[in-house]
């Protein structure tokens, strides 16, 4: 079992997304792998598409996925809840992480080993 790095849901397999984390830049100069569930990956892809179409500037802050201080885009993530089923929470993600998530979304079938 693995936990999604955005919503925390535990599923058998998550889709790997390679992000550059300044916290680990000396140990892992090529980047680190984060795992996203299918729902979060799809939401990140939608946010990336919207941001590139509208050329949105976003807000400045710390990315919830990699920890970089940069311009951030809002991603609405479904957080599991025992009382309500799920709650919608806005996560702030930088464009580099959204771009990597978009690439992972395009290749998710090969990465997860699913064949249709």
Any domain includes 116: no
Any domain includes 57: yes
Whole-number Å distance between alpha carbons of 92 and 71: 9
**Number of domains observed in the structure of the chain:** 1
Any domain includes 114: no
Domain carrying residue 7: 2-109
Whole-number Å distance between alpha carbons of 64 and 33: 14
Any domain includes 90: yes
Query: Considering the chain, what percentage of its residues have pLDDT values greater than 70?
Result: 92
Summarised one tens digit per residue, pLDDT across range 36-74 is: 999 999 999 999 999 888 876 778 999 999 989 999 999
Stated pTM of the model: 0.83
Any domain includes 70: yes
Kindly state the tokens that stand for 103: 């690439």
Q: What are the start-end ranges of the H helices in the chain?
A: 38-54, 95-106, 108-112
Taking CA atoms, 81 is separated from 4, 8, 32, 33, 88, in Å, by: 15, 11, 28, 26, 10
pLDDT at 2 over 50: yes
Summarised one tens digit per residue, pLDDT across range 81-97 is: 888 888 999 999 999 99
């Amino acid at each position: 079992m693995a936990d999604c790095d955005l919503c925390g849901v535990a599923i058998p397999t998550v889709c790997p997304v390679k992000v550059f984390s300044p916290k680990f830049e000396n140990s892992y100069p090529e980047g680190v792998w984060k795992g996203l569930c299918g729902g979060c990956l799809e939401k990140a892809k939608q946010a990336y598409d919207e941001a590139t179409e509208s050329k949105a500037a976003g807000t400045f802050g710390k990315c919830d996925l990699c920890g970089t201080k940069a311009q951030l885009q809002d991603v609405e993530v479904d957080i599991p809840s025992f009382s309500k089923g799920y709650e919608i929470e806005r996560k702030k993600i930088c464009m580099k992480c959204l771009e990597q998530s978009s690439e992972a979304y395009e290749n998710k079938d090969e990465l997860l080993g699913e064949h249709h």
